[in-house]
Structure 1
Amino acid sequence: MLEQISFAQKQRLAYIDFCLLFRGAIYRQDLINRFEVGLSAGSRDFSIYKELAPANLSYDSREKRYVQTGQFKPVFEHDAQRTLVKLANDISDGFDAIGDIHFPVEAPSSLNVPDIFIVAKLVQAILSQKAVNVIYTSLSSGSGSRDLVPHSIVDNGLRWHVRAFDRKTQSFRDFVLTRISKVTIKEAPLPHENSESDQEWQRLIPLQLVPHPKNVQHPTAIEMDYGMESSQLLINVRAAMAGYLLRRWNVDCTERATLKGAEYQLWLQNRFTLNNVDNLAIAPGYTL
């Protein structure tokens, strides 16, 4: 049936599929507003989608929206890596389900691609502000059940995390998406479990980055790479993300710029701002 449908209508059907998968629900008006189609065209799209996958959605007459069923199976293939990038940039259009235009750009291979259904359940929980129960495998304790309250999906440059309140440790932590094997959405969280209480997430700290004074022979090249002004780059980052950024950019965080190697092209000049930041064990050369 899909072979007989126009490209434009496939995009709209993919959008319905995408919203059901990641939001858990979709209003008819969402489709009409997104694609600027008439009411009759929008209704026809939902009718076609129901023909393609009758068990995927049901109509909630009280809320006047279509909701995901327990038997939901996506009609289109949603690529996990590309979808996460789109979600991170607030581009949740579902077009990746039917193939975007491919540009001749190469990137390093991704070794850890999260399960798209795990991502979808977590996104649903975040959008609906619900807690979840997950099966999580950690390096220290192996596999086990954890109750989390997720609030953000995070790309640390190497892999994807979910930032969440962990009821086991009563603290906000990062959980690697590829280590989560099951997600069950639960009840609404308590006030102290919401993102507003995540102090490391809410707190912004300034990082003053300069060309490495010992490893870089021509600092102007580094200034051009990073768009520096007055030979420095001043950026504000969430305290919870500081360690990831410093590791990703190989920033020398020693007190006197003592790390050697061509990979260390930047030095953190104001390392005192890192006081009371939690995840600095991964920051190159940083010690208390």
Structure 2
Amino acid sequence: MTTTKELDPVLAERYRFIDFLLLFKGQLTRAELVERFKIGEATASRAIASFLEKYPEEVEFLGPRYGYRANPFYQHKYEHDALTGLQYTAYGTLTQILDIQRYGIEFYKFANQLDVANVAPICRAVVNSASVHIRYVSTTSGIKDRVVSPHSIFEAGGLWYFRAYDKSAYEFRTFKLSRVIKVFQLHHDSLEEHSKARDDGWNRQRTIELMAHPRNPIPDAQLSDLGIKDGEYRSVQVSEALIGFALTDMRVDCSIGHKLSFQEYPLALKNRAELLTVESMSFAPGFASKADNKSRL
């Protein structure tokens, strides 16, 4: 990996961000440097030109409108954190940790440390509407090679997922990033029918109706959380593909007759019957239907 000791600290920081964009997005524009560092366009252009002079074979110029694209075998020059790459790709946020006195605590997370070598190609596939060949382990199929076309990334319950068209199953599915064992190759051949616009489960919005758990004798706190009065419920619009994740995150009892503990699940789902056919409900707390509820995660 490149060391920044011999570089001017300001230029080194810009180099690192350029490398970050090429690794996780597979592309960069001058505007991103302008926005990130609050610099002028000329200064951003000089930083990019300097980087390209140092690594001339790594990047292709696509023109003023489209910026620069990393070559298919781009090797990053600096160490980067997979989580930071996911946050930037999914939500456009960058996390900066300052060396100051802290008053919080690092809460224990069971999640496996994600490998940049697996995360970065999937992020690039999302950004560039490409497909990617992966080796993936699931609870139903074990270890299996797949070619998928990812279109979105999201976080739920402290874990990261991506939504993609699975070419071997001929349908859109949700995949857990920690279960990607290896990424083999990126293919710039994704079809329109494999895009987010064609993912009905992702685009279809459904309503979930939340209420305080009916078995809770003192529901005042939950009513306050929902911003409602006793006897009322709160309606929330959620992507159909994400309903199970949302209900799990909010600890909503989705069982028939709301039989789960109100102390563990302080909220309850009011309109369960309307969501019986939603695939992601299969792993909502307490949910069970007559259909095959096997999770594909």
User: Which band: TM-score by shorter chain?
Assistant: 0.7 to 0.9
Q: Match of 2:160?
A: 160
Q: Match of 2:286?
A: 285
Q: Match of 1:272?
A: 273
CA distance in 1, matches of 2:170, 2:264: 38
Q: CA deviation at 1:202?
A: 0.9
Q: CA deviation at 1:41?
A: 2.8
Contact between 2:24 and 2:89, CA under 8 Å: does it hold in 1? no
Q: SS of 1:118's equivalent?
A: helix
Contact between 1:206 and 1:273, CA under 8 Å: does it hold in 2? no
Contact between 1:247 and 1:284, CA under 8 Å: does it hold in 2? yes
CA distance in 1, matches of 2:86, 2:147: 23
Q: CA deviation at 1:5?
A: 4.7
Q: Match of 1:9?
A: 11
CA distance in 2, matches of 1:29, 1:265: 46
Change (3 A) 1:270 1:65: closer
Q: CA deviation at 1:238?
A: 0.9
Deviates more, 1:251-260 or 1:163-172: 251-260
Q: Match of 1:229?
A: 228
Identity of aligned residues (%): 27
Q: CA deviation at 1:80?
A: 1.8
CA distance in 1, matches of 2:128, 2:24: 11
Q: CA deviation at 1:262?
A: 2.0
Change (3 A) 1:275 1:56: farther
Q: TM-score, normalised by structure 1?
A: 0.84
CA distance in 2, matches of 1:156, 1:198: 19
Deviates more, 1:267-276 or 1:25-34: 25-34
Q: Match of 1:243?
A: 244
Q: SS of 2:265's equivalent?
A: coil
Structure 1, unmatched stretches of 5+, are: none
1:95-154 residue CA offsets vs partner (Å, 9 max, x unmatched): 65xx55665433332422322232211121111111222122223333232111111112
Q: Match of 2:292?
A: none
CA distance in 2, matches of 1:242, 1:253: 11
Q: TM-score, normalised by structure 2?
A: 0.82
Q: How does 1:192-203 map to 2 (within 5 A)?
A: 192-203=193-204
CA distance in 2, matches of 1:32, 1:142: 45
- What one-letter code is carried by the residue in structure 2 that aligns with 1:207? I
Contact between 1:56 and 1:68, CA under 8 Å: does it hold in 2? no
Contact between 2:109 and 2:158, CA under 8 Å: does it hold in 1? no
Q: CA deviation at 1:66?
A: 3.7
- What one-letter code is carried by the residue in structure 2 that aligns with 1:170? Y
Q: SS of 1:3's equivalent?
A: coil
Root-mean-square deviation over aligned CA pairs? 2.8
* 2:161 is aligned with 1:188: no
Q: Match of 1:139?
A: 139
Q: Match of 1:150?
A: 150
Q: CA deviation at 1:201?
A: 0.7
Change (3 A) 1:187 1:262: same
CA distance in 1, matches of 2:62, 2:158: 44
Structure 1 counterpart of 2:91, from 89, 92, 96: 89
Contact between 1:195 and 1:201, CA under 8 Å: does it hold in 2? yes
Change (3 A) 1:218 1:38: same
* 2:170 is aligned with 1:170: yes
Q: How does 1:35-54 map to 2 (within 5 A)?
A: 35-46=37-48, 48-50=50-52, 54=55
CA distance in 1, matches of 2:196, 2:72: 28
CA distance in 1, matches of 2:35, 2:18: 13
Q: Would you say how many aligned residue pairs link Structure 1 and Structure 2?
A: 281
- What one-letter code is carried by the residue in structure 1 that aligns with 2:154? V
CA distance in 2, matches of 1:218, 1:101: 44
Q: Match of 1:258?
A: 259
CA distance in 2, matches of 1:188, 1:271: 40
Contact between 1:156 and 1:241, CA under 8 Å: does it hold in 2? no
CA distance in 2, matches of 1:166, 1:70: 22
- What one-letter code is carried by the residue in structure 2 that aligns with 1:17? D
Q: SS of 1:107's equivalent?
A: coil
